[in-house]
Chain A
Amino acid sequence: MNPFQYARADDAADALRRGAISGAAYLGGGTNLVDLMRETIARPDQLIDVTGLPATIAETDDGGLLIDAAVRNTALAEHPAVRMRYPVLSRAILAGASAQIRNMATVGGNLLQRTRCTYFYDAEGARCNKRTPGSGCDAREGFNRIHAVLGASDACVATHPSDMCVALAALDATVHVDGAEGQRTIPFADLHRLPGDQPDRDTVLRDGELITAIALPALPTGARSAYRKVRDRASYAFALVSVAAVLQLEGDRVVDVRIAFGGVAHKPWRATKAEAALRGQTITQQVVLDAAAAEFAEARPLRDNAFKPALVARTLAAVLTDLARGEAA
C-alpha cells in the first residue's frame, strides 16, 4: 500500500473541494478501494471519507425514492419501501457479498467497485489494460470463465461485478453527481462504459465528480420485479450471470418489461433487444428464449464462458415465467 492522507468530509461541498486535488479518491465503506490499495492497484495519496455525508432514503414527489450515496447497502436492502416496491433491488443487494461487507458498503461505492478479473488483480504478474493502459490483456486468451460475452473489446473482456447495479439498470434509475462543473444527472444505463480502447475508465464520471444520490422512478402499477443470481457456490460468490427483471402485464400480454443482465459485460447490461422482442407477447419459455437469443446475437464468447448466453436465456425464462405466474423467483 502506498502512503496516503486521510480526511473526513463534513458535507458535499467539503468533499468536492478536497476531491478536486489530483491523486484524491473518495472513500465509502472501503470494502473495495482498500483491497485495491493493498494490492497497489489503486494508489491514491488522499482519501476523502464520504460516509459522513447524508444517508437518507426519501420519497420523491413522483412516487419514487431518492437514495443518498452514503446509504449502506444493508440499510437500502432492508428499507420497507424498497422491499415492498422494488423487491428486485432488495434481493440483488442481499445476493451480494456477505452481511459484514454489506453493512460497510455504500451505494456510491457499490456503483464504482471494480472488476474481479484475476489478471486485473495480479499487479506484478499479469498484463491488464484496465490496470496499466497499453500493457495488454491476459484474460482474453487466459482464464475467462467470469468474463464478458457482450460489448467487450480487444483491449478488455472484464465484467462489472455488482449485483445491485443490475437491479438499478432494470429500474431505470438516475445517478445524481456533483463536481467542478456543477451538478448533473446521468441515466443509470449510461453511467458505466463499455471498454473500447479505454478500459481503464469504468464510467463516464469526470475527475473529482462525487456521486450524491440515486433516484428511483415509481414502477408502473401492477409491475412485478425479481432478481436471480447464478453462482459457483451458494453464497459469497460473485455472479457468473444474473438477471434483473421488471414485468408489467395486461391480461397475459407484456405491456412493459425491463431486463438487465449481470456478469455478461463491462457494465450492467440493459437487454433492450430482448425487451423489444417481448413487448406485446405472452410469456412462454420459447418466447423468452427467442428474445434472449436476439440479445445475444452478437455475443462473442471466449474460451471458458461459452455457456453464458444459454445460461442467461434459461435463467431469464425462469424469472419471467415466475413473474408472469405471480410468483417471485
Chain B
Amino acid sequence: MSVFDAAKQAAQGLVQGVVQGAMEKLVPLAPDSWIPGGVPDPLIARKHGLIGKPVSRLDGVHKVSGTAAFAAEYRFDGMVYAALVYSTIPKGRIAAIDSAQAEAAPGVVLVMTHHNAPRLNPMPMFGSSPSAVGATDLPIMQDGVIHWNGQPVVCVLAETQEQADHAASLVHVTFDETPAVTSLAEAQANGVEQGQFMGAPLLDEVGDAEAAFAAAPHRVDQTYRTPRHNHNPIEPHAATLAWIGDRLVIHDASQMVTQQAQNMAQIFGLDPEQVHLTSPYVGGGFGSKGLWNHQVIGAAAAKLAGRPVRIALSREGVYRVVGGRAITQQRVAIGAKADGTFDALIHTGLSTMPPHGTMPEPFILGSQAMYGADTMLLKVEVGRMDTLANTFMRAPGEAVGTFALESAIDELADSLGIDPVELRIRNEPEKDPIKGTPFSSRHIVEAWRTGADRFGWADRPETPGSRRDGEWHVGMGCAMGTYPYYRMPGAEARITLTREGDTVRAKVEIAAAEMGMGTATTTAIVAAERLGLPLEQVDIAYGDSAIPGAIMAGGSQQTAAIGAAVIAAHNALVEELLKLAGNDSPLSGASADEVGSEAGGLARLDNPDAKETYVSILARAQRGDLSVTKAGSAPLETMHWSMHSYSALFCEVRVNAVTGEVRVSRFLGSFDCGRILNPKTALSQFRGGIIMGLGMALMEETQLDERNGRIANASMAEYHLPVHLDVPEIDVIWTDIPDPHAPMGAHGIGEIGITGVAAAVANAIYNATGKRIRDLPITLDKLL
C-alpha cells in the first residue's frame, strides 16, 4: 500500500466514525477544540473539494504585474526619505556628533540624534507581555550609549533618498569605547548561564544520561559548530509612515502586524487604536520581519520633522539593524546497544546572545521528540556577547540542532555498520520521549520507506569514498528533519456574508501576515470549503492591524491558528443563520450541529434535501449582510498529544577530488506534515526550506569580526546564498495523512523544510569522501 492509499484510508476511517449518513458534499461543522474523545475536523473527509488541489496563489497576478504595493512603495504627500548612520564600535558612548556639513547639504530636512529625538518608551521586549515582539528593550536614540557595532546613531531626513544617503555620509561621529565581549571564547570565559526559550529553561533530563552513556557498549561523542547567520529576504526591511493628527499610520513589512502596531503605540505612549499598521505584502520574512530600530526611528523622525517618512534599509542596513541566528557549539553523545537502540542521548552546548537579548539559538528543540532513548540530557547554555540581538530564523533551534544530532546518528550508524535509515527506524519512540504524551500523528517510518524507495537509497555506496565519476567523488546521505505543531492563542476571524443580487460573497478578515507563503490562498480555500462556496466568492483580508485578533506568522503555526479561528467564526455564523432562517425555512428546528454547508447554503445532515441558500436566508430576513467575529479555541490539543511534523531527507553530492568543490546533484524530501492543503504553495515552502538548508550546509556564514564585533560581510556579494546553479532538481513527496487532532488535519509547513538538510548534505559528503565535517558551512577548504 502506498502512503497515498494509506492517507486515503485514514481519511475515510475518520469520516466513517464521525459523519455517518452525511452526503459526500455536505460538510458538517467542525469541532472547536481537539481533546481526547473528540472528533476530527470533517473537512478531512472531504475528498473532492478544493483542499489538496493545486491552487495558484491569489496574489500572484498582483505581484508579477507590479500592482502589489510593498512597504517601501507607499507614498504620502510631502514625504521625506531617511538614511541611517551606524555605530562603528561595539560598546561605549557617543563622544561627539558633527552634523554641520550634513545639515547644510542639499535637501536635508532633519538630522536626528539622541540629543533631539523625542522621548520614547522602551520597546516591549519579547516575553514581557503576550503582544511584546521587540528583540530587546534597549532605548532607541535616547542616551548615546552604544550596545552593538552597527547600532543606528543618527537619522537623516531629506527630500530624496540620494540626498539623505549623501548627507548621512557627511555626518562624523566619534565614540568613547569601553571594553566589549566580542568573541565566543571571551563569552565562555566570562561564564555561561542556563538558556531559556519562550519562558522555559532549555533543559530536559530523563534518567542519568551521562552514566548510561559511559556504560554503553557503543558510543559517539562529538562537537559540532554552526556559525552566525543573517537574514536576507529578497525585500530589505522598510516602513513608510505618517502622523495624521495624533494617529500614526505605518505601511510596514511585517509578520506580526497587530503586535507591532500595539508595540509602536506603547513606545510612543499612544492608545492602541491610534496606530494603524498595514502589511499586505511582504517580500519574505523567515522570522526577521518584526519590530526593529528602524520603524521606531522612522516614526520618531517623522514626528520631529512633521513630515511623513520612508525608511528603507539598505542591504547593509539589514545586517546592522536586524538580528539573525546565533552561533552554536553543540555536543552530541549517543550511547547505543549493538542493535543500535539508544541507551543515552545527550545533546548539550553553547549559544550566545547579548546582555539585552532574550533568545539563544534553542538547538535542542528538535531532539526533544525525534528518537526514543532510555536516558536523555538536552541542555542549552548561553554566553553573553555585545552584539545585535539575535532572533528567530527559519526553524530556530531545529535548523542547526538537527545538523548536530543527525550527523552524530550517521556517525553511529557508520561505526555500528547499520544502515542509517534502519538505525533511525530502530529508535522510533512509542510516545513523546520527554512528556510521555501520545503522538497525534506520526508516520515518519512510512516517509522513510517511500523516500528511500523513490530516491534509490539501496544504491548508496556502502564504503565511504568508494564511488568516483571522473574527477568527482559521489556519495549519498540521509537525515531526519522535524518541527513542532504549534497553535498560539489570540487568533480571531470575522466572517461577513454579503448578499449581491442572487449570489452571496463571503469576506474573511483575519489578522494574519502573508510573507509570500500562500497564506491568503490557503485561507480562502479552507473558508470556501467550510462555507460551501466557490473560491471566487470568497475574499480574504489580512495584514492590517484594524482587523480583530492577533496572529503571528511564526512557529509555522499561522495556518492552524487561522484554521481554528475560521472554524469558531463559521460555527457562530451558522448559529446566526439558523436564527435568521426561522420557522419558514426547511432548516427550521435544526441546531448548528445538525446542519452542514453545501453549494452556497446549509442543509440538514439527516436529510440533505432540507436545505436553504445563504441568499434566501438573508433575503427573507431582509438582511444585506451578516457578520460574526469569533476567536479560535484554546490550543488544548498540544497538551494532550505530542504534535510534530517530520521529514526524511535524502541527498546525493558530488565532491571534486581536485578542488574540494561540492555540488549537490540530487535531493529528495519525504514529508509527514498532516494533510497538505494546497500542494502548489506547499511544494514551494518545502523546496524553499531545502534550498535555504543547502545554503546553510555549504556557504552561509556571518563573519563577525571578533576584534570589534562588526559584521565584515554585510553584503550579498560576500555573504553567500545558493544561486540557481547550486540548486539541483528537488523531489518532494508527502504522506498526506491528516492529523485527526488538528484543524483541517494540517500542520504548518513553513519551517520544517530547512530542518535536517545540512546533516543530509554533510552525511552525503562523508559517504562521498570519507571526510566528516562538523563545522558549518562545509566550504571546499575543509575538504582538501
Contact = CB atoms under 8 A, between A and B. Distances in A.
Interface of A: 1-3, 38, 40, 116, 118-119, 121-122, 124-126, 138, 141-143, 145-146, 230-237, 240, 307, 310-311, 314-315, 317-318
B715 A230 contact: no
Given A122-B712, A125-B149, A116 B718 contact: yes
A206 to B, nearest CB: 29
B658 interface: yes
A125 B166 contact: no
Contact of B659 (A124, A142, A311): A311
17 contacts: A1-B165, A2-B166, A38-B165, A118-B712, A118-B715, A124-B85, A124-B86, A141-B707, A143-B713, A233-B698, A233-B726, A234-B663, A235-B723, A236-B723, A311-B781, A317-B658, A318-B471
A307 B723 contact: no
B162 interface: yes
Given A234-B726, A235-B724, A314 B699 contact: no
A232 B699 contact: yes
Contacts of B710: 122, 125-126
Contacts of A317: 658
A176 B642 CA distance: 73
Contacts of A307: 781, 784
Nearest to A142: B705
A194 to B, nearest CB: 23
Given A121-B715, A311-B660, A311-B784, 12 more contacts: A1-B162, A116-B718, A122-B712, A232-B720, A233-B699, A233-B726, A234-B725, A235-B723, A235-B724, A307-B784, A311-B659, A315-B658
Interface string B765-781: 00000000000000111
A142 B85 CA distance: 23
B725 A235 contact: yes
Contacts of A146: 718
B722 A233 contact: yes
A240 B780 CA distance: 10
A138 B708 CA distance: 11
B88 interface: yes
A40 B162 CA distance: 12
Nearest to A236: B723
A1 B658 contact: no
B720 A118 contact: no
B724 to A, nearest CB: 7
A232 B780 contact: yes
Question: Does more than half of chain B's interface fall in helix, strand or loop, or is it mixed?
Answer: loop
Majority secondary structure, A binding face? loop
B661 interface: yes
A314 B659 contact: yes
A126 B659 CA distance: 32
Interface in B686-724: 698-699, 703, 705, 707-708, 710, 712-715, 717-718, 720, 722-724
B223 interface: no
Interface of B: 85-86, 88, 106, 149-150, 162, 165-166, 169, 471, 658-661, 663, 698-699, 703, 705, 707-708, 710, 712-715, 717-718, 720, 722-726, 779-781, 784
Contacts of B708: 125
Nearest to B705: A142
Contacts of B166: 1-3
Nearest to B714: A122
B784 A118 contact: no
Contact of A318 (B88, B169, B658): B658
A121 B718 CA distance: 11
Contacts of A233: 698-699, 720, 722-723, 725-726
B314 to A, nearest CB: 9
Contacts of B724: 235
Given A116-B718, A311-B781, A234 B165 contact: no
A122 B88 CA distance: 10
A5 to B, nearest CB: 15
Contacts of A230: 659, 661, 780
Contacts of A235: 723-726
Contact of B723 (A121, A126, A138, A234): A234
Contacts of A315: 658-659
Contact of A40 (B86, B169, B714): B169
B659 A138 contact: no
Nearest to A304: B781
Contacts of B725: 233-236
A138 B705 contact: yes
A178 B142 CA distance: 56
A310 B698 CA distance: 21
B781 A142 contact: no
Nearest to B694: A233
A328 to B, nearest CB: 14
> Which 9 residue pairs are nearest across A and B when measured between Cβ atoms?
A234-B725, A307-B781, A235-B725, A125-B88, A318-B658, A118-B712, A230-B659, A143-B703, A40-B169
Contacts of B705: 138, 142-143
Contact of B86 (A2, A3, A125, A237): A125
B442 to A, nearest CB: 36
A329 to B, nearest CB: 10
Contacts of A118: 703, 712-713, 715, 718
Nearest to B782: A307
Nearest to A322: B471
Contacts of B699: 232-233
Contacts of B723: 233-236
Contacts of B715: 118, 121
Nearest to A308: B781
Contacts of B707: 138, 141-142
Nearest to A235: B725
A124 B86 CA distance: 8
B410 to A, nearest CB: 24
A145 B166 CA distance: 32
A250 to B, nearest CB: 27
A40 B165 CA distance: 10
A314 B656 CA distance: 11
Contacts of A237: 720
A96 to B, nearest CB: 13
A141 B705 CA distance: 10
A234 B728 CA distance: 11
A233 B165 CA distance: 32
Nearest to A234: B725
Nearest to B165: A1
Nearest to A145: B781
A125 B715 CA distance: 14
Contacts of A38: 165
Nearest to B715: A121
A142 B182 CA distance: 13
Contacts of B698: 233
A166 to B, nearest CB: 16
Contact of A143 (B660, B712, B722): B712
A233 B697 CA distance: 12
Contacts of B722: 233
Contacts of A1: 162, 165-166, 169
A143 B711 CA distance: 10
B376 to A, nearest CB: 37
A142 B780 contact: no
Contacts of A40: 169
Nearest to B162: A1
A320 B725 CA distance: 26
A145 B784 CA distance: 15
A235 B720 CA distance: 11
A307 B724 CA distance: 27
A35 to B, nearest CB: 9
A3 B150 CA distance: 26
